[in-house]
Chains A and B, each alone.
Chain A
Amino acid sequence: MNLNATLVAQLVVFFILAWVTMKFVWPPIVKALDERAKKIADGLAAADKAKSDLAHAEKKVVEELRKARESATDVRASAEKQAAVFLDEARAEAARIIAQAREAAEAEAGVAAQRAKEALRDQVAQLAVAGAEKILRKEINAQAHADLLANLKQELQ
């Protein structure tokens, strides 16, 4: 329990140790700790950002899906409408063609009938003339009665 010069030596050693620690030990360790704290903070912030980004992206995906579905519905509806229009047009065209064909056929038939009628009329007239000729050969001169026969033929038309 006696005091001696050891005390002074201990005092000097104390300051040397403290100085060395201050100079070479404390700064690098504290720097590393601060850097790590910053890294962790940055990492946490990045994780938060990634999370919010993901949520944002998911929202966007849902929105895009909804839009795609909507536009698909639109496309289908318009396609159906167009198809209906095409169908109607085709139907109308077909009806028109049929009507035209019928008309043409009817006209042709009418012409044919007319021609046949005329031919028939000619023949009937000839037959009538022939018959009348035969009758009149006996009684009337054919030349004398030609006007009469022509009139008759006219009436038959």
Chain B
Amino acid sequence: MSTEAHGPTAGEYIVHHLTHFNSTGHAQSAIIDWSVWNLDTLFFSIGLGVVTLLILIKAAGAATSGVPGRFQAAIEILVEMVADQAKGIVHSAESRKFVAPVALTVFFWIFLMNSMDFLPVDLLPKIWALISGDEHAYLRVVPTADLNGTLGMSIGVLLICLYYNIKIKGFGGWVHELFTAPFGSHPLLYPINFLMQMIEFLAKTVSHGMRLFGNMYAGELVFMLIALMGGTATVFGFLGHVVAGSIWAVFHILIVALQAFIFMMLTLVYIGQAHESH
């Protein structure tokens, strides 16, 4: 983009790439606006969710107790890994029937969404610009680099935690715990305990979503900066783009898998905590 004669400045390029294609057609100005939909995030996250399910359902349909093929074995390794982790963290076999599939879905889905980072930063936006006919059409392809995407999932985890809190301890038991843990049962401590509990829930959920978002957002941003280097169309910029781009892409493979794994593990840990009484 920046190679064009009337190309944008580096700042404009970055800002353009960090703007969502949303239902208003222009960048969202308010921090929170519930009337706006990020269509690109929705498209890619739902699309990749469907891909996730297709792959998993294909594996489930082909699952036999006989000799597995390579594809089946690969999925089974993943399932075993998730099942083992779930078994170690959530000690209720009944809950695991739901929690373990949640963890598997989360891992697979986030892994695919994170992997959108490996596509060249300008590839899909350029194609979208050609399709839409708008040269300046906005498009962000990494749903996990959108705070809505990650917070949506972490709030989902929070809801599951609340559900199990009430299911395991009973509503009364859970409310009792809200006011008596972590400092103990004393009328003077009730407000402090309750405040601590609220902070805990908030911190868990926000950090859960923010961690994934921050990593992917930063990764995406670095890819853009590297692309800018190539965009200078000089020998130095080209070499820098190739070298830095390669190194960052290889390193990013680790981040993509690691962040998907961390999100899954924290999902299990938080749900596991919901099962334990203080």
Contacts and interface: CB of A to CB of B under 8 A. Distances in A.
A25 B53 contact: yes
Nearest to A32: B63
Contacts of A11: 152-153, 155-156, 159
B41 to A, nearest CB: 5
A10 B152 contact: yes
Interface in A1-31: 1-11, 13-18, 20-22, 24-31
Main secondary structure of the interface of A (DSSP, over half): helix
Interface in B9-43: 22, 28, 30-38, 41-42
Interface residues of B, number: 54
A21 B152 contact: no
A22 B147 contact: no
A33 B63 CA distance: 8
Nearest to A26: B101
B156 A29 contact: no
A10 B148 contact: yes
Contacts of B100: 26
Contact of A2 (B28, B53, B152): B28
A4 B40 CA distance: 13
Interface stretch (B72-80, B164-172, B223-231, B243-251): B72-80
B64 interface: yes
A39 interface: yes
Contacts of B80: 33
Given A36-B65, A36-B66, A25 B101 contact: yes
A43 to B, nearest CB: 12
B239 to A, nearest CB: 33
A38 to B, nearest CB: 8
A21 B264 CA distance: 15
A14 B156 contact: yes
B153 A22 contact: no
B22 to A, nearest CB: 7
A6 B49 contact: no
A35 interface: yes
A17 B75 contact: no
Given A6-B146, A9-B152, A21-B56, A28 B37 contact: no
Given A17-B49, A26-B100, A9 B79 contact: no
25 contacts: A2-B33, A3-B31, A3-B147, A4-B36, A4-B38, A5-B34, A6-B148, A7-B152, A8-B152, A10-B149, A14-B153, A16-B49, A18-B102, A18-B105, A18-B156, A21-B56, A22-B97, A25-B104, A26-B97, A26-B104, A29-B60, A29-B75, A31-B63, A32-B76, A36-B66
Interface of B: 22, 28, 30-38, 41-42, 45-46, 49, 52-53, 56-57, 59-61, 63-66, 68, 75-76, 79-80, 83, 97-98, 100-102, 104-106, 109, 143, 146-149, 151-153, 155-156, 159, 217
